[in-house]
Amino acid sequence: MPSALEQARMRLSKNTDAEKKSQLGQFLTPASTAAFMAGLFTTTGGDCRLLDAGAGIGSLAAAFLEQRCAEASRFGHVHVDAFEIDRSLHEQLAETLSRYRSDSCSIAVHGNDFIHTAVDALLCDLFARSFPKYTHAILNPPYKKINSKSAHRLALRRVGIETVNLYSAFVALAVAATGPGGQIVAIIPRSFCNGPYYRPFREFILERTAIRHMHLLESRRNAFRDDNVLQENIVIRLERGGQQGPVTVSTSTDDTFSDVLTHVHPFKRIVLPDDPEQFIHVPTSSGQTAIELCPAIRYTLADLGIKVSTGPVVDFRLKAHLRDMPGPSTVPLLYPAHFSSNGTTWPIEGSKRPNAIERNAETTKWLYPTGFYCVVRRFSSKEERRRIVASVVEPIAFGDAPVLGFENHLNLFHEDKRGLPEHLARGLAVFLNTTAVDETFRRFNGHTQVNAADLKLIRYPSRQALIELGEWAIQRGHFTQAMIDDKLGTLLE
């Protein structure tokens, strides 16, 4: 039977208005997850000063204190600072933590805004060395985007933190407020691992901490199941000022943690040494992918003379120029729906999306010359087996159209805004559709969006090897997943 605290969490999760959850970015931590997170801290001695920012009803701090009680000699005095801006939770939060209050454990519940409070304290710390540093921080921070001109964003910049979401802001502030050797354990969306928006945050934590442990909850549906959260989540343990070494990576299907698998990886497999974006990879097995093992797959797109861009036609901005079907003054407008395993299909009658765009002075700058291109969908559904789905743009499908429009839901590979040689375009599509590429991509991308920056990070075979793949694809005509995986292996032996 669930504990009284867990019953309170489930009741609140069920009864709290969805709009309020969205406004606060608030998702309460299940008891099993809280216990797992508390168990990741390594044993230390001396006094403990614990930060729980976005404390909710106190599940995380309680799990931490439960483990302290189970190991009586683990710490000397413990002080807990629990920050929770939602005052409707304060009664339950105070009740949760009050039973741990004793001569050796003091509790403080704060209702003020954690970001502004932490920023003010950190700025004060520049002049007053007596400001106390936390030895431990345990966080399930709120998940909500931060407007670029908001008070939170401006406050964070005052202490050198540039980020786009409350969850990364909370973690960065926890790192900044933790003393040397301090440990931070947080459950956060995996989205910070890649992409340009979180690059400053990645740089911030990699400069100031060592990554010690990452745990991936593989099921999107089971980390915060009561709140219907579909983000892929990761539990991370950081050590403030630590010397970076090997990283423990564990996985479980869900928050029962009944099937935990653990491997240890050298840090060079977590953040690739030559990656300027500092994407964080999460290997889910001890073995290396086929791409990692093959020395022939080592080229960047720049090495190959190829560029990748996001489709420049943003349909809602050019709505006045879009047409359902082609006409005398239009050119093809391509969406993901125009591509399938059977090739390019254009136009599609009865489509919910337009098939054409007027070619005029306002739209010409967004159009590409007709030719062979490799395109990759930017978005896939959560249920799809593959993240990267590549197709070939076949100019024969468009008659004598001189130029093409690529809508923003596509990424396209090109040579200086012109098409690729046919064999190269087809070989690139075959390579991107291999299982090896999909496995590699999943190690640093935890959501369903594929950005051009992600595709730039992947390493590719040589231009000649891609051309040979394209020649094979043309000869075969039709091929299965197993066939392209086998072909990649034989080509690179």
- Token pair recorded at residue 69: 């009680």
pLDDT, one tens digit per residue, over 290-330 is 677 677 888 889 999 999 999 999 999 999 999 999 999 99
Residue position matching structure tokens 């120029």? 321
Amino acid letter, 447: H
> What integer pLDDT is reported at residue 256 of this predicted model?
85
Q: CA angle 174-191-133, nearest 5°?
A: 5
> What integer pLDDT is reported at residue 338 of this predicted model?
94
* Residue 117: C-alpha distances to residues 144, 152, 176, 303 (Å): 19, 11, 13, 48
* Residue 143: C-alpha distances to residues 30, 190, 214, 231, 253 (Å): 16, 12, 19, 10, 22
pLDDT, one tens digit per residue, over 394-433 is 999 999 999 999 999 999 999 999 999 999 999 999 999 9
> Which domains does the chain possess?
4-287 (3.40.50.150), 301-491 (3.90.220)
> What integer pLDDT is reported at residue 128 of this predicted model?
40
- Token pair recorded at residue 366: 């967004």
Q: How far is it, in rounded angstroms, from Cα 446 to Cα 9?
A: 27
Among 146, 90, 153, 149, CA closest to 119: 153
> What integer pLDDT is reported at residue 330 of this predicted model?
95
Q: Are 297 and 459 in contact (CB under 8 A)?
A: yes
> What integer pLDDT is reported at residue 400 of this predicted model?
93
* Residue 371: C-alpha distances to residues 336, 342, 480 (Å): 17, 18, 26
The model's pTM is: 0.75
> What integer pLDDT is reported at residue 257 of this predicted model?
85
> What integer pLDDT is reported at residue 127 of this predicted model?
44
**SS3 state of residue 185:** strand
Which residue numbers in the chain have pLDDT < 50? 1, 21, 126-131, 220-230
> What integer pLDDT is reported at residue 224 of this predicted model?
47
DSSP 187: E
- How many residues in total does the chain contain? 493
For β-strands 233-240 and 261-265, DSSP reports them as: unpaired
